[in-house]
Amino acid sequence: MTGDLPAYLPLHRDGRLAARIEAAREKLRHCDLCPRRCGVDRLAGELGFCQTAEHAWVASYAPHFGEEQPLVGRNGSGTIFFTHCNLGCVFCQNYDISHRSAGAPVTAPQLAAMMLDLQRRGCHNINCVSPSHVVVPILEALALAADQGLDRPLVYNTGGYDAPETLALLDGIVDIYMPDFKFWDPTSARRYCDLADYPEVAREALAAMHRQVGNLVVDERGVARRGVILRHLVMPGGIEETRAILKHVATTLSPDTYVNLMPQYRPCGEAHQYNELNRRLTVAEFESAVLAAMEAGLRRLD
């Protein structure tokens, strides 16, 4: 970001955004946008794990006041909830959207119109929720919206399973990365989303995001302008993984990383099929997570 301008505007003006879009679009022909690398031709209508072809699906969009305070500010975060996902967690808190295809396909002009509408409604940012599998339509819509006056920071609100090559294409475009670091133990990742490599991929992705945008920067109103916001959903019985994740963030990235420890876990989706997940988080478990963050030296907790 240069001054008060979002990062993507200079790239759009000098043609680099168009080049990035074309490079990302080519990846859809043998899709490796995310680390699942399904290899399907999405431009020809083939579907991989994310069940999404060329066009993004949107479940809803609106000003959101339940996000982190630096995103919400006074007027809300302009959230666009994309249908489907590249993770497929069995306990997903938005199970109808990620697993049951709630939503409908939209064209790039329609998605651009949503972005512009959120800006007109005063939202402080454009918050793309579950974007990893729909990077191409997001960038296409972003270019169209920028031509029509879009000037809000772009938030990449991801589950953390992102390919380094795709993140490289987003360098200088995304203003705020908001990854969720879910699992430290490959056994947990395999059990709950069939991705034993999730911890390794998430560590690499988070490092790349931090190199691109650094620690969170806010303006005089306390509204986020650039940087990383890390989310971690505290899981029942998962305090040791939480402790390892928080220590890694503090020592490998920065103790000034903005971290949101989320206590809102509840059994959703298929969680009732797993005894260890079929209950809510306890107050004591969440207090242990907060203590772990403090012991790790993290200084910016939401």
Please give the full DSSP string across 141-197, using - where no structure is assigned. Answer: HHHHHHHTT--SPEEEEE-S---HHHHHHHTTT-SEEEEB---SSHHHHHHHHS-TT
Work out the mean pLDDT of the chain and round it to a whole number: 97
Single out the residue of 48, 47, 85, 79 nearest to residue 65, CA to CA: 79
- From the number of C-beta atoms within 10 Å of its C-beta (0-12, 13-18, 19+), residue 187 rates as exposed
**pLDDT by residue (tens digit) across 162-205?**
999 999 999 999 999 999 999 999 999 999 999 999 999 999 99
Q: 21-30 long-range contacts, Cβ below 8 Å, gap at least 24? A: 21/136, 21/139, 21/140, 21/143, 23/169, 24/135, 24/136, 24/139, 24/166, 24/169, 25/136, 25/140, 27/136, 27/165, 27/166, 28/54, 28/136
Q: Angle at the Cα of 249 (from 246 to 252), degrees rounded to 5? A: 140
Cβ neighbors of 194 (< 8 A, separation 6 or more) are 88
Distance set, CA 128 to CA 83, 123, 289 (Å): 11, 13, 27
Rounded Cα–Cα distance for residues 272 and 275 (Å): 7
Domain boundaries, the chain: 8-301
For residue 95, how many other CB atoms are within 10 A of its CB? Answer: 17
Please tell me whether residue 279 adopts helix, strand or coil conformation: coil
Query: Is pLDDT of 4 > 80?
Result: no
Helices (DSSP H) in 2-77: which residue ranges?
Answer: 8-13, 16-27, 69-72
- Asked whether the beta carbons of 112 and 58 are under 8 A apart, the reply is no
* pLDDT score recorded for residue 302: 86
Mean pLDDT of 259-267: 96
pTM over cut 0.95: yes
Q: Which residue has the tokens 């399907």?
A: 40
pLDDT band at 5 (very low <50, low <70, confident <90, very high): confident
Rounded Cα–Cα distance for residues 128 and 77 (Å): 10
User: If you count them, how many residues does the chain have?
Assistant: 302
Instruction: Give the CATH number of domain 8-301; options: 3.30.930.10, 2.60.40.1930, 3.20.20.70, 3.40.1160.10.
Output: 3.20.20.70
pLDDT band at 2 (very low <50, low <70, confident <90, very high): very low
Report residue 153 CA to chain centroid gap: 14
Please give the full DSSP string across 229-272, using - where no structure is assigned. Answer: EEEEEPPTT-HHHHHHHHHHIIIII-TT-EEEEE------TTGG
Query: DSSP state, 45?
Result: T
Distance set, CA 254 to CA 40, 55, 77 (Å): 38, 37, 25
Compute, in degrees rounded to 10, the torsion defined by CA atoms 133, 135, 136, 142.
Answer: 150
Query: Is pLDDT of 1 > 50?
Result: no
